[in-house]
Chains A and B, each alone.
Chain A
Amino acid sequence: MPASRFTQTGNYRTRYRQDQTIFATYAEQLSLIVLIGLLLLLPLILPKTMLRDVNMIMIYAVAVIGLNITTGYTGLINIGQAAFMGVGAYATALAATRWNLPFFLAIPVGGLAGALVGTFVGLPSLRLKYLYLAVATLAFQIIFEWGVGHTPLLAQGGAISLPQVQVFGVKATFFNHNFVWYYLILPVLVVMGLLWRNVLRTKHGRSLIAVRDNDRAAAAMGINPGTAKITAFMIGSFYAGIAGGLFAYFQKAVVIEDYGLHISIQLLAMAIVGGLGSLPGSFLGPLFIVALDRIVGGTSNWIGSQNLFPAGVDAATALRPLSFGLAIVLFLMFEPRGLANWWRLSRLYFKKWPYKF
């Protein structure tokens, strides 16, 4: 515990209990409260279409926290996170339309379905590592898409519409949809973020990191790597399932195209760009990729309208995957710790400011 609970000038922790606190200082606590306060005011300032992007960022952030749990914190490469999202989305849709559950119960059903399937898909991780495990998760992504596409109950991948949501007497209509959903997604994101931050402080969270760093050493310390890996898949898929349920309601209907391989790769890119094994990175990655998509989309439109290239050369179409791929490569080369590292450095700078040392 620091000498002052307002500023931190060094690590003065002398007990494990102190080491397990979520916030080292009151300043950290206060900054989170201020941030949440500002986030609560955001919909009053932002235009509606931008609010939609913010909602998308928050939903992706929930899924990316989940991906970070399996890939970032436990080191299990997962190229099927969108499929877990899809499992959650379809389970939510069925719970809402077949069982007529309200949204606040249907979404957790999606999370549980994701966790259940994730646990099953995680079983190969007991035997497989690295690239081999990545291919196993990729296989699940393909099986998911094929399975949904051939299941009449799931409309063969066509649309399953979700009912309109009503919260405290306010019905989510077309005109207040983004507004209402902002205030529904934000608490979920905050709770899921805090939940993971808490899990990380427990022996279960620490065992995941130990398994990532060296599973043999972890086993020697009494950690069961198999249990840790399965737990990581279960929790990571639970997060994906919750994100899928939120996305299903937010999009108003579930369609298989929203949970394809390209989305899995996009989620992985978000985790890499944000910073693998970092909670702030799970928010910064989706923010960066969605913003990049908007900027490149606008630029593509402009290039397409200028007729700068000869007929047959579709440079505008190429720009989006090019910039997306380039961003990942550049981050991997020059900032493998992602935007979370920039966040860490900025915090360090302001901690010492105005002193240099």
Chain B
Amino acid sequence: MKKTLLLSALVSISFAAAQKTVTLPWSGAITGPTSDAGASYAAGVEDYCKYANAQKMLPGITLNCVTRDDQYNNANTQRNFEDFVGNLNAPVFLGYATGGALQLKSVIQETKIPTLTASYHIGIIDAPDNTYTFLPVSSYSENIVALLEYIAKKERGAKVALIVNPSPFGRDPVVDARKAATRLGLKITDVQEVGGNNLDNTALLKRLEAQGAKYIINQNTAGPVANILKDAKRLNLLGKMQFMGAHYTGGEDLTKLAGDAAKDFIWATSYYLYDEANQPGIQLVKKIGAQFKRGADTIRSVHYTSGMLASAIAIEAMKRAGNNPDAAGVYKGLISMNGSRSFDPGFAVGPVTFSAKDHIGAESLRLLQADATGNFKAITGAQRSAMFQLVHPMK
């Protein structure tokens, strides 16, 4: 009996000793600006990471799931990165804001830490210093060019106006959008910047109406877009103008804020939505959300799904790295995700594919339109923008 006890104790000790702890870190805005999206994103990262531990996805490895608030402050993001990589020895970094991601590019290049961000700004993966940075899904620029393609199919020669956030996040897609519009035979009548403090958009909308702009494409967050839609409804412009937007403009956030003014809004995103219950990825989102007792609002948010995708990609790359996942192993794991080895956790409308040259994960996107109840329904299948690859060839 004593021998059995001793043996089982030894086995337990050796098993415990064999378990390695690897940190999976995320830094983003849990509080502060854009925390409406950031808090759900953080929950998604953390819950999928804990789920991976519970499922023993990485044999012999326990994940240390760390989500840390950087309050949308670049200095805090750097501080967190230094702590994760310098002290916690994290082999991968999951980031959030555009500014923080752009500022970290040279450090990421120096430390060779593979990085995935919640910002889908194409500049993050543009040269230089772009070896180790990856976008989990298609970029904002591609979202917008896909919307332009949709417009061009419907109405060649249409007048389009862009409303963008007054920041690098908002401005970056404008150059590609202009190039694409020229090639597609569309006319961009105006590019206006609108931030989060837009309380009355009457002048803006009247100006766009006077220009004859029929299609309004937004590159912004849901808050400012909701205010524009509410003002457009008040001015009876909703039927005359078709409002559209890239990933962070739409979804539950928009319908919650804009109410019935969001009806008919066309949204480009790579993610499946909560209401698509037949999708295995969404079933998993619901299961994990319930397991970790998240509120209904969090589970319904597309940002919860986005966080899970980022976490899932990082964990899959660690899995491919083998028993001892370091930064080099995770990088190799990431760039192996192509062809028959592409990764499809079911959260996005296409599989995640990366290579040494391809740093965009789920490249496919869909266009969805809000119905009278505020739910978004797909109006296209999963697709890539053909024009985007011409106007922004990746180096």
Contact = CB atoms under 8 A, between A and B. Distances in A.
Interface in B180-230: 193
Interface in B320-362: none
B129 interface: yes
A317 B79 contact: no
A206 interface: no
Chain B interface helix/strand/loop/mixed: helix
Contacts of B74: 251, 255, 257-258
Interface in A150-200: 155-159, 161, 164, 173-175, 177-178
Contacts of A146: 166
Contact of A174 (B86, B128, B168, B296): B86
B69 interface: yes
A317 B106 CA distance: 30
Interface string A250-275: 01110111100000000000000000
A95 B128 CA distance: 19
A178 B128 CA distance: 24
Nearest to B170: A149
Interface stretch (B17-25, B31-39, B153-161, B240-248): B31-39
A146 B192 CA distance: 12
Contacts of A156: 168, 171-172
Nearest to A175: B86
A300 B69 contact: yes
B31 A300 contact: yes
Interface stretch (B48-56, B97-105, B368-376): B97-105
B283 interface: no
B79 to A, nearest CB: 5
A159 B107 contact: no
A56 interface: yes
Contacts of B193: 149
B75 A48 contact: no
B168 A255 contact: yes
Given A159-B103, A251-B103, A149 B171 contact: yes
Interface string A282-310: 00000000000000010011001000000
A96 interface: no
Contacts of A158: 102, 123, 168, 171-172
Contacts of B35: 314, 317
Most buried by A among B31, B39, B103, B111: B31
A48 B87 contact: yes
B89 interface: no
Given A256-B167, A311-B295, A251 B78 contact: yes
Most buried by A among B30, B86, B103: B103
A208 interface: no
A134 B111 CA distance: 44
A301 B85 CA distance: 21
A52 B79 contact: yes
A49 interface: yes
Contacts of A314: 31, 35, 39
Contacts of B71: 297, 320
B171 A174 contact: no
Contact of A304 (B31, B76, B82, B105): B31
B99 A255 contact: yes
Contacts of B129: 161
A284 to B, nearest CB: 20
B31 A317 contact: yes
A257 B167 contact: yes
A166 to B, nearest CB: 14
A316 interface: yes
A317 B32 contact: yes
A326 B30 CA distance: 22
Contacts of B172: 156, 158
A57 to B, nearest CB: 12
Contacts of A47: 87
Interface string A126-162: 0000000000000000000110010000011111010
B346 to A, nearest CB: 27
Interface in B297-335: 297
Given A311-B295, A316-B30, A320-B31, A255 B107 contact: no
Interface string A36-55: 00000000000111001100
Most buried by B among A178, A297, A304, A316: A297
A311 B103 CA distance: 33
B69 A161 contact: no
Contact of B39 (A251, A253, A297, A304): A304
B168 A304 contact: no
Nearest to B109: A161
Given A158-B123, A258-B75, A314-B31, A149 B106 contact: no
A218 to B, nearest CB: 40
B80 to A, nearest CB: 9
29 contacts: A48-B82, A52-B79, A53-B79, A149-B167, A149-B171, A155-B168, A158-B123, A159-B123, A161-B106, A174-B86, A174-B107, A174-B110, A177-B82, A178-B82, A252-B78, A255-B99, A255-B168, A257-B167, A258-B75, A297-B71, A300-B31, A301-B30, A301-B68, A304-B31, A304-B39, A311-B297, A314-B31, A317-B35, A320-B31
Interface of A: 47-49, 52-53, 56, 145-146, 149, 155-159, 161, 164, 173-175, 177-178, 251-253, 255-258, 297, 300-301, 304, 311-312, 314, 316-317, 319-320
Interface pairs A-B: 8 shortest CB-CB: A159-B102, A158-B168, A317-B31, A257-B99, A253-B103, A255-B99, A161-B106, A316-B31
Given A159-B105, A161-B106, 12 more contacts: A47-B87, A48-B86, A49-B79, A52-B82, A156-B171, A159-B102, A177-B82, A253-B106, A257-B74, A314-B35, A320-B32, A320-B71
